[in-house]
């Protein structure tokens, strides 16, 4: 066996290790083409598609999150706008109510004033009428009393109507003059 190895070694010296025998080139080519064929035509395109899908899934998730965020933002703004509008509306209503209250109070005050004036005026008229009635009644009573008194005092019957009425009138005129002077 040793002899065979030495012989093999001797033959190997004649072989140049840098000169490739063609059957091995062919097998090398075939072996590589098998690998390249499967990888380039079938397996790498398949995995690339999946890698692309994965990338899209991740980016899609990010896009979705962004969309949700912008939507939330817009909803918030809408809500804020509505709130501001409601506040404005409330302020306006309050203002309106205040104004209405004020006019109502003013109206009522005016009405009260008018009623008071009416009452006062009616009172005045009543007082005037009463005074007039009292005055005329008084005139009669005072005349009669004075006549009776005078008749008694004088002792003479003042039955003469003419005289009687003259005396009364003079008395009353005196009274009126005094009253006017007093006024």
- Please give the residue ranges that form the binding site for other proteins (CB under 8 A): 1-2, 4-5, 7-9, 11-13, 15, 17-25, 27-32, 34-36, 38-40, 42-44, 46-47, 49-51, 53-54, 57
Any idea how long the chain is?
183
Nearer to other proteins, 60 or 101 (CB): 60
Nearer to other proteins, 4 or 153 (CB): 4
147 Cβ partners below 8 Å, 6+ apart? 158, 164, 167, 168
Nearest distance, CB of residue 67 and other proteins, angstroms: 21
The residue ranges of DSSP E strands in the chain, in sequence order, are none
85 CB neighbour count, 10 Å cutoff: 10
Distance, in Å, from the CA atom of 164 to the CA atom of 148, rounded to the nearest integer, reads: 11
Nearer to other proteins, 55 or 144 (CB): 55
Nearest distance, CB of residue 59 and other proteins, angstroms: 13
Nearest distance, CB of residue 70 and other proteins, angstroms: 27
Rounded to 5 degrees, what angle do the CA atoms 110, 113, 119 make? 140
Nearest distance, CB of residue 64 and other proteins, angstroms: 16
Nearer to other proteins, 24 or 159 (CB): 24
In which region does residue 155 sit, left (phi positive, over 0), alpha (psi from -120 to 50) or beta (all else)? left
């Amino acid at each position: 066996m040793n002899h065979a190895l030495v012989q093999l070694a001797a033959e190997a010296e004649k072989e140049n290790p840098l000169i490739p025998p063609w059957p091995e080139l062919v097998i090398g080519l075939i072996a590589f083409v098998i690998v390249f064929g499967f990888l380039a035509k079938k397996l790498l395109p398949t995995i690339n598609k999946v890698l692309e899908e994965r990338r899209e899934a991740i980016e899609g998730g990010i896009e979705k999150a962004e969309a949700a965020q912008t939507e939330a933002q817009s909803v918030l703004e809408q809500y804020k706008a509505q709130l501001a509008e409601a506040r404005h509306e409330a302020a306006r209503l309050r203002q309106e109510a205040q104004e209405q209250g004020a006019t109502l109070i003013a109206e009522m005050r005016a009405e009260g004033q008018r009623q008071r004036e009416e009452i006062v005026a009616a009172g005045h008229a009543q007082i005037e009428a009463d005074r007039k009635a009292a005055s005329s009644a008084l005139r009669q009573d005072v005349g009669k009393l004075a006549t009776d008194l005078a008749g008694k005092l004088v002792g003479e019957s003042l039955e003469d109507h003419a005289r009687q009425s003259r005396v009364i009138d003079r008395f009353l005129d005196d009274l009126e003059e005094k009253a006017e002077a007093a006024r």
